[in-house]
């Protein structure tokens, strides 16, 4: 075991939509502007909030999930991220963790598994509670008091009041909280419509899209409402939160015992073995990836090469392809129009190249993408045509769930018999699936493609609605890099 003593805080709330994501963004920006090297995290599995953390802090935000990851896994991911030298070329000197939903929301009614509270206990992390104070003053104290007493192993060390209407409103709420709970109020954020960020079915507008404006239309930075909202969030938090007190609370976190063995350690490799290249699709349409997956793939001995299914004409010279999640439905026309890229990927699949298409990536590899509309009629776009089925958006279906499953066949990302805990996160479905479609994955929890089957297989191409995190499903990186290496050797 090694000792990790990095200051840290966890931003939690009593429920979703209390403002913890917005306040976390503001805290990251304010701390960075004060000269701190800040490592962000997100409790539970989510792609979009961490994208914002990364954009603001300059360090890749990581996910911490107490259901998917064992305790040592959470500690390993935390320590690895804090020690990593990112754009600032140094390790972090403070960590900020954004919670998920309400503080105690988890897998079931009688344990904290999968909850923000579980992460706070694993990381011995003081909690800052965000309270949506709209229409509440004295009741804020009752709310905080209940959360403080619910689990004595969770340390609620400060409160930030959000959506405060007036000076008098703030004074009454602060007086009540500090009198009845003895927990200090370290921030007051006034109501401000200018700090609201646009959302869609699965959350906030993804960062790569926000940078370029709605539907990918490029805007000048000075005219970009998205950027102005981020700047306003920074300003409001800088003015409304006592950052000195927040850092003092972060410094009260107890030292952590980190496992000496880390899964992120680079594997020793045979100098005669080829260094395979894995092409990763990354642009406005495909940008949902866990940074830890990239680090684990590189630790297994590969090079990551990014490419764009929207902007590049063909695949780069790679030995495997990873097309992750995202919002291809927003860019369906651009994806359809790039016929040379679609053909390049299809030829690679026909040649037996290992291809992993994850959720939105799988949608891209179907025959057609159908966008249903009640007002203007359905829009139909031609996709890559590797999987004999069609993708449908606009059915009203929305799936957000943990998944448990087993590989029933060998694939580029796992061998027969490998089991996993993962998640799915989508609002599309597949229709007109070929009757002879082969599936490599059976789920015991979750929805999958149909009848709890997932992992469509065509040659050496696999498509899943399941999203894998390599710190949980630990065979992922090893299997995928080995598949790429085998293909690389065949091409020599």
Q: What is the pLDDT of residues 362-408, one digit of tens each?
A: 999 999 999 998 888 899 999 999 999 999 999 888 899 999 999 99
C-beta of residue 115 within 8 angstroms of C-beta of residue 104: yes
Q: Report the distance separating Cα 122 and Cα 22, nearest Å.
A: 24
Question: For residue 468, what pLDDT is reported?
Answer: 97
Q: Name the 3-class secondary structure at 270.
A: coil
At 221 the pLDDT is 40
Residue 199 has phi, psi (to 5 degrees) of -130, 165
pLDDT at 2 over 90: no
Whole-number Å distance between alpha carbons of 374 and 81: 45
Is residue 36 pLDDT above 70, yes or no?
yes
List residues bridging with 471 in a β-sheet.
none
* pLDDT reported for residue 4: 81
Percent of the chain with pLDDT over 90: 82
pLDDT given at position 29: 96
Measured CA to CA, the distance from residue 158 to residue 156 in angstroms comes to: 6
CATH 3.40.50.300 fits 2-258, yes or no: yes
- Give me the percent of the chain exceeding a pLDDT of 70: 95
Per-residue pLDDT band for 195 (boundaries 50, 70, 90) equals low
Beta bridge partners of 407: 441
**Residue 411 gets which letter from DSSP?**
B
Common-topology check for domains 2-258 and 277-491 = yes
| Selection from 46-50, 232-236, 330-334 with the highest mean pLDDT | 330-334
pLDDT per position as a tens digit, 56-99: 999 999 999 999 999 999 999 999 999 999 887 899 999 999 99
The answer on pLDDT for 480 being more than 70 is yes
Q: Is the pLDDT of residue 312 over 80?
A: yes
Residue 61: its pLDDT value, please?
Answer: 97
Q: Does the pLDDT value for residue 463 go beyond 80?
A: yes
Model pLDDT for residues 221-258, shown as the tens digit of each residue: 434 677 788 888 999 999 999 999 999 999 999 999 99
Name residues whose C-beta falls within 8 Å of residue 439's C-beta, 6 or more positions apart in sequence.
Answer: 408, 449, 453, 454, 455, 456, 457
Banded model confidence at residue 38, pLDDT cuts 50, 70, 90: very high
Report, as an integer, the average pLDDT of 415-423: 97
- 138 touches 162 (CB < 8 A): no
Span 277-491 CATH architecture = 3-Layer(aba) Sandwich (3.40)
Statement: residue 181 has pLDDT above 80: yes
State the pLDDT confidence band at 214, using cuts at 50, 70 and 90.
very low
Across 325-351, average pLDDT: 97
Mean pLDDT of 38-50: 94
Q: How far apart (Å, rounded) are the C-alpha atoms in residues 323 and 287?
A: 9
Q: Per-domain residue ranges for the chain?
A: 2-258, 277-491
pLDDT tens digits, one per residue of 3-31? 789 999 999 999 998 889 999 999 999 99
What's the angle, vertex CA 63, arms to CA 397 and CA 455, rounded to 5?
45
Cα 117 to Cα 354: distance, rounded to the nearest angstrom? 39
Maximum alpha-carbon separation in the chain = 74
Mean pLDDT (the chain) is 92
If you ran DSSP here, which 8-state letter would residue 418 be given? -
Instruction: Provide the whole-model pTM.
Output: 0.93
- Overall average pLDDT of the 87-116 stretch: 93
Mean pLDDT for the stretch of residues 479-490: 96
- 409 or 272: whose pLDDT is higher? 409
């Amino acid at each position: 075991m090694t000792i990790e003593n990095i200051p840290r805080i966890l931003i939690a709330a009593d429920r979703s939509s209390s403002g913890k994501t917005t306040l976390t963004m503001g805290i990251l920006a304010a701390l960075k502007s004060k000269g701190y090297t800040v490592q962000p995290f997100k409790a539970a599995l989510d792609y979009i909030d961490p994208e914002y953390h990364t954009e603001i802090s300059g360090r890749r935000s990581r996910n911490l999930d107490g259901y998917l990851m064992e305790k040592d896994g959470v500690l390993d991911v935390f320590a690895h991220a804090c020690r990593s030298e990112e754009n600032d070329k140094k390790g972090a000197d403070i960590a900020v963790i954004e919670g998920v939903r309400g503080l105690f929301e988890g897998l079931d009614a009688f344990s904290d598994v999968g909850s923000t509270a579980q992460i706070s206990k694993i990381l011995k992390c003081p909690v800052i509670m965000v309270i949506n104070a709209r229409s509440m003053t004295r009741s804020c104290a009752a709310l905080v008091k209940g959360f403080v007493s619910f689990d004595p192993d969770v340390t609620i060390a400060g409160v930030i009041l959000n959506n405060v209407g007036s000076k008098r409103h703030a004074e009454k709420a602060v007086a009540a909280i500090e009198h009845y709970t003895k927990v200090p109020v370290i921030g007051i954020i006034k109501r401000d419509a200018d700090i609201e960020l646009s959302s869609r079915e699965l959350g906030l507008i993804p960062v790569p899209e926000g940078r370029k404006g709605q539907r990918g239309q490029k805007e000048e930075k000075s005219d970009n409402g998205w950027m102005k909202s981020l700047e306003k969030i920074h300003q409001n938090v800088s003015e409304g939160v006592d950052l000195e007190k927040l850092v003092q609370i972060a410094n009260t976190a107890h030292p952590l015992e980190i496992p000496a063995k880390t899964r992120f350690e680079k594997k020793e490799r045979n100098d005669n073995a080829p260094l395979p290249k894995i092409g990763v699709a990354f642009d406005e349409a495909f940008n949902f990836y866990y940074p830890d997956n990239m680090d684990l793939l590189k630790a297994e001995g590969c090079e990551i090469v990014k490419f764009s299914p929207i902007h590049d004409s063909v695949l780069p010279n790679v030995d495997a392809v990873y097309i992750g999640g995202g919002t291809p439905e927003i860019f369906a026309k651009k994806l359809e129009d790039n016929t040379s890229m679609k053909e390049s990927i299809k030829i690679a699949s026909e040649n037996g190249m290992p291809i992993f298409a994850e959720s939105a990536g799988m949608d891209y590899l179907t025959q057609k993408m159908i966008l249903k509309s009640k007002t203007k009629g359905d829009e139909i776009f031609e996709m890559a045509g590797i999987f004999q089925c069609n993708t449908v958006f606009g059915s009203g279906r929305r799936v957000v769930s943990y998944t448990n499953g087993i590989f029933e066949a060998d694939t580029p990302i796992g061998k027969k018999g490998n089991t996993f805990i993962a998640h799915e996160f989508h609002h599309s479905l597949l229709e007109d699936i070929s009757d002879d479609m082969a599936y490599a994955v059976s789920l015991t929890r979750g929805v999958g493609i149909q009848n709890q089957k997932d992992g469509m297989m065509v040659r050496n191409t696999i498509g899943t609605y399941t999203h894998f995190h390599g710190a949980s499903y630990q065979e992922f990186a090893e299997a995928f890099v080995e598949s790429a290496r085998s293909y690389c050797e065949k091409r020599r």
